[in-house]
Structure 1
Amino acid sequence: MNRRKFITLGTATAGLLTASSTADVLADTKKELKKEKRYQKGASPWPICLDTATIRPASLKDKIKFAAKAGYDAIEPWDGELQEYEAKGGNLIDLGKEIKDLGLFVPSVIGLWNAIPPTQELFDKSLKDTRNRMRMAAQIGAQHVQTIANTAGEPYDQKWMASRYKDIIEIGLKEYKINPALVFVKYQPVKTMGQAMGIALDANHPNAMIIPDTYHMYISEGNFEGLKIMNGKAIAIFQFSDAPASPGVKDLGDQHRVYPGDGILPLTEILKDLKKTGFNGCISLELYNPGYWKEDLQQVAITGLQKTLEVIKRAGV
């Protein structure tokens, strides 16, 4: 073989090897992209959380134990429970360690009440309580805390709301390393997911987020199609429950919430749309049904998890 043929053959071989190596790298990259973290022994693309209101009569310590025993990944307590726990001599940092030792984490705490009142004077006065609630949430290791504009007034000034929400985000991140997220509730000034997203967008902050709730998406009549145009990075946690066929939507209250799959909401379609957003946070079971509170609360926690996983399975996500 002469020198020219040798060089030509070598160059061609190198090209084939390079092409082959590139193809292998691309194939491996695609495999990695296809991999996603799964929870509940692979049954869910999202960790499943228990909102403590679901088993409200139990003590906070029992709620944590019930959640861990039932097999949840996380727990979402309320600020009043943390305040009561401290008042009785409990240490929230130690409680956070206990939660972690039981295999749970805290994606969110409910919440920053009266966080965005309608005037600067009232806002400044509210910050003492807001900071204390952030402190409590941070001490148990929460990732987020719910920002509740229950006293914003109607109609509210969206520019004002967005600016104050931005202030709250900055306080949370800088002072407590916690990310406040905005909620919407039919019975409050910010009623729909669209209204909450508008405020979050106008806050002009990369950490602005909202907390959708299937029940309030329904009863506020904002409905569910908006999920199709959302980015999952805008969602801190996803509150989950079903609604019964009766009473009618205008007469439904939080006390009417039922287990996922026991009502009329299109939960499987909602979860399919949620998956497409790229959301990778918690699905949090949130029930306020006084009928469940009269039952065995450990069993309520178990049933809630089972029914949530059944809906996820039917959604095929």
Structure 2
Amino acid sequence: MRHDFDTSDDGTDTMTERFGRLALHTWTIDTTPLGEALEAIKSAGYDAAELRRTDFKRCYEAGLSNDEVLEMIRASGVRVAVLGVEYGFLFATGAESKRIFEDLHVSCRNAVALGCPQLMSAPGPFTGSLKDAVGHLRTAADIVADYGLKLSIEFNSQHANLNSVETQRELVTAAGKPNVGLLLDAYHLARSGRPGRTFEDVPGEDIMHFQYSDLSPNPVTGVKRPTDRLMPGKGVILWTEVFQLLREKGYTGHLSFEAPNPAQWERPPAEVCREGVELTEDLLRAAVPDPAS
């Protein structure tokens, strides 16, 4: 079991920043109801969870209110490191854009209620110009800042527009918001031609969040959100190089295990979660023998 919390002088728990903290992204066990997923995350020993807006919406569909979902999460004892918002605000227009930004306020309030400091968003289902995305990102950043939160933006190697580190950095730099940073994903880095240490040009202070899973030597094509992701160490990613570079860059955020794959969804969620922890810790020990130093 991993332990990642110190106790402050007033008796409250505070999250200790250090390299190698693990979170479980719930897409990894997508078919598991949230309550059961939280139990699996806790029993496997993750330091925290990365929850999705989808997790909340599925609970609403099951008859739970937003307050009841929040209480279930708090009662589980699982910390929430990052909370995903509804994707699409970067390129949506008209009434859809207004609706997604209104939903962003809900995610912000939920993050505050859970003591979660960071929201994240992927590009989403829409496409458009980078100029429009910059304006929309500024709007989102201002909303998130009003709640005292940070926002990380992910690139998706299969998206029509936001599909590379270069475009991702251009977007975030142009937005110029201090509470917005980069979300890097080892899977998408590798699929966009940046395996191993090939993100050396990205400043460490710009990396706000990091997700990971392994890449098959024969990844599926023609799918915007691939679910062919593998357990760490089971594909072609150069994990020693990736983890060593992250450590050198001073990254102390969570490493969020996100490996959606139908083959894993058929397995017991607790088993998938435990295997994710064990394999990742083996790779971390090989890359950084003494991560606490």
Q: TM-score range by the shorter chain?
A: 0.7 to 0.9
What displacement does 1:151 show?
4.6
Choose from 245, 252, 262 the match for 1:273: 245
Contact 1:96 1:141 in 2 (8 A): no
TM-score normalized with structure 1 length: 0.77
What displacement does 1:243 show?
1.2
**Unaligned segments of structure 1, at least 5 residues:** 1-37
> Which stretch of structure 1 is more off in the superposition, 182-191 or 280-289?
182-191
Contact 1:186 1:220 in 2 (8 A): yes
Choose from 110, 124, 131 the match for 1:136: 110
- CA distance in 1 between counterparts of 2:94 and 2:31 reads 37
**1:185-264 → structure 2 map (5 Å cutoff):** 185-188=156-159, 189-223=161-195, 225-245=197-217, 247=218, 254-264=226-236
Contact 2:90 2:134 in 1 (8 A): no
Choose from 52, 68, 82 the match for 1:78: 52
Choose from 56, 73, 85 the match for 1:111: 85
Bigger radius of gyration among the two: 1
Choose from 2, 21, 42 the match for 1:68: 42
Contact 2:144 2:151 in 1 (8 A): yes
- Give 1:46's aligned residue: 20
Percent of paired sites with the same residue: 20
TM-score normalized with structure 2 length: 0.83
Contact 1:92 1:139 in 2 (8 A): no
Choose from 111, 124, 135 the match for 1:150: 124
- Give 1:98's aligned residue: 75
- CA distance in 2 between counterparts of 1:153 and 1:248 reads 23
- Give 1:165's aligned residue: 137
Q: In the alignment, residue 168 of structure 1 is paired with which amino acid?
A: A
- CA distance in 2 between counterparts of 1:136 and 1:55 reads 22
- CA distance in 2 between counterparts of 1:293 and 1:193 reads 29
Please give the per-residue CA displacement for 1:13-71, whole angstroms capped at 9, x wherever unaligned: xxxxxxxxxxxxxxxxxxxxxxxxx959xxx7221000111112211011111111111
Partner SS, residue 254 of structure 1: coil
Question: Is 1:126 paired with 2:97?
Answer: no
Relative contact order, CA 8 A, sep 6+: which one is greater? 2
Note closer, same or farther for the CA distance 1:200–1:120 as it changes in structure 2 (3 Å cut).
Answer: farther
Contact 2:185 2:210 in 1 (8 A): yes
Q: In the alignment, residue 53 of structure 2 is paired with which amino acid?
A: D
Question: Is 1:89 paired with 2:64?
Answer: yes
> Which stretch of structure 1 is more off in the superposition, 56-65 or 126-135?
126-135
- Give 1:290's aligned residue: 262
Q: In the alignment, residue 285 of structure 1 is paired with which amino acid?
A: F
What displacement does 1:248 show?
5.0
- CA distance in 1 between counterparts of 2:73 and 2:203 reads 30
Partner SS, residue 281 of structure 1: coil
Partner SS, residue 132 of structure 2: helix
What displacement does 1:257 show?
1.0
Contact 2:19 2:253 in 1 (8 A): no
What displacement does 1:121 show?
6.7
What displacement does 1:279 show?
1.0
Q: In the alignment, residue 177 of structure 1 is paired with which amino acid?
A: G
Note closer, same or farther for the CA distance 1:49–1:226 as it changes in structure 2 (3 Å cut).
Answer: same
> Which stretch of structure 1 is more off in the superposition, 122-131 or 303-312?
122-131
> Which stretch of structure 1 is more off in the superposition, 307-316 or 125-134?
125-134
What displacement does 1:182 show?
0.7
- CA distance in 2 between counterparts of 1:127 and 1:248 reads 34
Note closer, same or farther for the CA distance 1:165–1:226 as it changes in structure 2 (3 Å cut).
Answer: farther
**Unaligned segments of structure 2, at least 5 residues:** 6-17
- CA distance in 2 between counterparts of 1:178 and 1:311 reads 31
Question: Is 1:55 paired with 2:32?
Answer: no
What displacement does 1:139 show?
3.1
What displacement does 1:225 show?
4.4
Question: Is 1:304 paired with 2:279?
Answer: no
Tell me how many residue pairs correspond in the alignment: 271
Kindly indicate which of the two structures has a greater share of residues assigned to helix. Answer: 1
- CA distance in 1 between counterparts of 2:126 and 2:227 reads 24
- CA distance in 2 between counterparts of 1:74 and 1:279 reads 17
What displacement does 1:135 show?
3.1
Kindly indicate which of the two structures has a greater share of residues assigned to strand. Answer: 2
- CA distance in 2 between counterparts of 1:241 and 1:229 reads 21
- CA distance in 1 between counterparts of 2:240 and 2:4 reads 18
- Give 2:286's aligned residue: 314
Partner SS, residue 85 of structure 2: strand
